[in-house]
Amino acid sequence: MAEHHARAIGLAVTSAKLVAVADPSETGRAAIARIAPDAAGYPSFGALLEAHKPDVVHIVTPLDTHFDLARQALAAGCHVYIEKPVVETGHEIAELFQLAKSQRKSICAGHQLLFEAPARLALQLLPAIGRVCHVESYFAFRPSRRTAGGRVALRADLQLLDILPHPVYLLLHFLEAARPGGAGEDGMTVTVGADGTIHGILHRGELSGALTVTLMGRPVDSYVRIVGTNGMIHADFVRGTVQRQIGPGSSAIDKVFAPYRLARQLLSGTTASLVRRVSRRQRSYPGLTELFEAFYRSIEAGTSAPISEETIAETVRVCEQVSSSISALASSHPAIRPRPTGPTVLLTGGTGFLGRAVARELVALGCSVRVVARRPPAPWDRTAGVDYRAGDLGAAELRESLQGVDVVVHAAAETAGGWQEHEANSILATEQLLRSAASAGARRVIHVSSLAVLASARGGKVDEHSPLLADSRSAGPYVWGKLESERRAEHLAGELGIAVRIVRPGAIVDYQSFEPPGRLGKRLGNIFVAVGSPRDRLGVVGLDFAARMLAHLAVDFDRAPAKLNLLDPELPSKAALLARLRRNNPDLTVFWLPMWVLKPISLAAIVLQKVLKPGRKAIDVAKVFRVDAYDTSLSATLAGAPDDQRNYTTSEPSGEDAARSA
């Protein structure tokens, strides 16, 4: 966000100039230096204030530092711009405003949506819709798993609190515009649902506004809808448009033609907004530069900041109330299951897609479950009975979490990024985990690999004895990371004298909330390009089945197979998977891309990759979408046997097993 600020300051049509940046990270200072090379860099804010006396300080740091940094800046005689969320409590913002008043300085908040085109136009149109009777602020958001710099993002509930000020201050702004000075005593009634969805009603005099913020709702959206006695305004902050229907709209002609007018407004407005963004090469957030300009001009003119103290303070109070509700939700989830009867299992990747399901199954089997994750889950994503611990697989404190563990289920792996990320977070993390487990006395490990690491059978069926890919880099960073992690795990089993079981799930699909596996094809908006033939059968495994099997293998580790290709006992065809996808997406259009068409395209892509990036391994797209025949007999056998009579078949032993055999 600091980089966006630096760019936006440079675009401001005022006399403002970025003179210095304080950041304890040398990388962070270097990033700003690339945007504003004349700005001096300092490792601390104190060092910056010793060398400079800036007119304005922008605080673009983590939330828990905002209050102290703002106090330092105001005490030094600086005006302060604070990114949202401004501070954590109403008491803190009241203290900052009191200090600002004593210093005759201004505070401005990062409420830039108010300066985007939709908010400005909606405000201009407000008088035309008559007496306002309803205001609604809606925000649907998809949490990020990674930051722009590749770091692990905040957990979902903290991301929710981070974006919450936007829909809150928009609601407050339009309520105030509709009923100036009409604030009531009741404030906001807010509830936080079990999935983190926020519903609130804010009372302002006789008018009430509705707030909805969700991490689960799709599509991603952000809008304010204002309804009056003479029409409606819909301000869309994703597309940068405003749709309006002004007039009573009660006649038959109005009802017929209104949808066409709205459609025309949406089409023309979206096109104009996109053209503006492209023509201006606008990389910073829309509205950011405009807000900076308004703040700087208010300082030069000696007038009030463009965001009122009341709006800032009330936004903080509402967000504080939601934060308290989320904390109460967290305390309502029991952390430890009383009196577990099964083994103690440490689960990595326990906050991910597969890991969450495995954790539930382990708890159901009576295990004492510990989940170690760099980012503990939000309250609504936690499984009752699981002990969540923050930590990194390479950290020394991981050994403490491994004390007393009977079985390690290693399901964590990198899922994004390039070769470097997969080497660090899949390959090296696996080695670090196994070494830590061995030193802590946890000598049973289930390593979750991937079916994609196996070579094609060339006319036969891929099974547990099939060889690994000869060229591990040919299928991209993810498969390379999985394959080399499996090799590292098998090698370390012998070196460390521990027992390792390799489980290779096929593409994991959640049949309850179906998303197509990657080898089925690619979705482009409302079009799905399916690759191959409808009769092809994909090597997939249902989420619930995979989780149940992994949990049972952990409980009955000593009789588990050394290697297991975890697949649905009966593999579905691509046609069956597409039929399931279309049931949930009735408007989806499907096109088939046969392999005989894809192969020459893939060959051309390989040549192009070698020309454009000669130093990198070219990826064979046709190989990524290849369809193999799989032997599912072992999965079927394990699935069909009673829990106490599972007839495990084994391949060659490794590590501790080999020592026992010898």
DSSP output for 348-373: ETTTSHHHHHHHHHHHHTT-EEEEEE
State how far the Cα of 469 lies from the Cα of 487, in Å rounded to an integer.
Answer: 11
Give me the pLDDT at residue 248, please. 80
Structure tokens at 564: 């297991």
Distance CA 553, CA 396 (A): 28
The number of residues in the chain equals: 662
pLDDT tens readout for residues 495-511: 999 999 999 999 999 99
CATH fold group of domain 2-112: Rossmann fold (3.40.50)
Predicted confidence at residue 623, as pLDDT, reads 78
Active-site residue, from 388, 478, 511, 630: 478
What is the percent of the chain with per-residue pLDDT over 90, rounded to a whole number?
66
Band (339; pLDDT cuts 50, 70, 90): low
pLDDT at 614: 83
In order of 79, 86, 437, the CA distances from 55 in angstroms are: 6, 19, 55
Q: Are 316 and 90 in contact (CB under 8 A)?
A: yes
Q: Is 478 a catalytic residue?
A: yes
Q: What is the distance between the alpha carbons of residues 85 and 319, in angstroms, rounded to a whole number? A: 8
Distance from chain centroid for Cα 306: 32
User: Could you tell me which residue, 533 or 415, shows the higher pLDDT?
Assistant: 533
Q: Are 114 and 287 in contact (CB under 8 A)?
A: yes
Give residue 399's pLDDT.
83
For residue 218, the SS3 value is: coil
| pLDDT at site 474 | 76
- pLDDT over threshold 60, residue 98: yes
Average pLDDT over residues 456-466: 89
How does residue 484 score in pLDDT terms, banded at 50, 70 and 90? very high
pLDDT-derived band at 641 (thresholds 50, 70, 90) equals: low
Q: What is the pLDDT of residues 517-547, one digit of tens each?
A: 988 999 988 899 999 999 999 999 999 999 9
Is the pLDDT reported for residue 296 higher than 60? yes
The residue that leads in pLDDT, 572 or 471, is 572
Helices (H) and strands (E) in the chain, counts: 22, 24
What's the angle, vertex CA 436, arms to CA 430 and CA 439, rounded to 5?
140
Q: According to the model, what pLDDT value does residue 146 have?
A: 58
Residue 645's pLDDT band (boundaries 50, 70, 90)?
A: very low
Give the pair of three-digit tokens for residue 504. Answer: 């290779």
Can you tell me whether residue 247 is helix, strand or coil?
Answer: coil
Over range 400-409, report the average pLDDT. 94
- Report domain 341-523+534-573+629-647's class: alpha beta
Element (H, E) at 134: strand 132-140
Residue 188 in this model has a pLDDT that exceeds 90: no
Transcribe 361-416 into DSSP letters: HHHHTT-EEEEEESSPPPGGGPPTTEEEEE--TTSTTHHHHHTT-SEEEE-----S
| Distance, CA of 371 to CA of 389 (rounded, Å) | 6
* Mean of per-residue pLDDT scores for the chain: 88
Query: Which residues make Cβ contacts (< 8 Å) with residue 359, sequence separation at least 6?
Result: 347, 350, 369, 371, 383, 386
**Residue 151 confidence class, pLDDT cut points 50, 70, 90:** low
The sign of the torsion formed by the CA atoms of 198, 203, 204, 206 equals positive
In this prediction, residue 283 carries a pLDDT of 61
On the question of a common fold for 117-283 and 341-523+534-573+629-647, the answer reads no
pTM of the entire structure?
A: 0.80
- What pLDDT does 175 receive? 93
Q: Tell me: domain 117-283, CATH 3.30.360.10, correct?
A: yes
pLDDT at 624: 78
Name the token pair of 260: 């066409």
Helix-strand-coil split of the chain, %, nearest 5? 45, 20, 35
In the chain, what are the domain boundaries? 2-112, 117-283, 341-523+534-573+629-647
Chain centroid to CA 288: how far? 23
State the pLDDT at residue 333. Answer: 55
Q: pLDDT value at position 73? A: 97
Strand, coil or helix: 90: helix
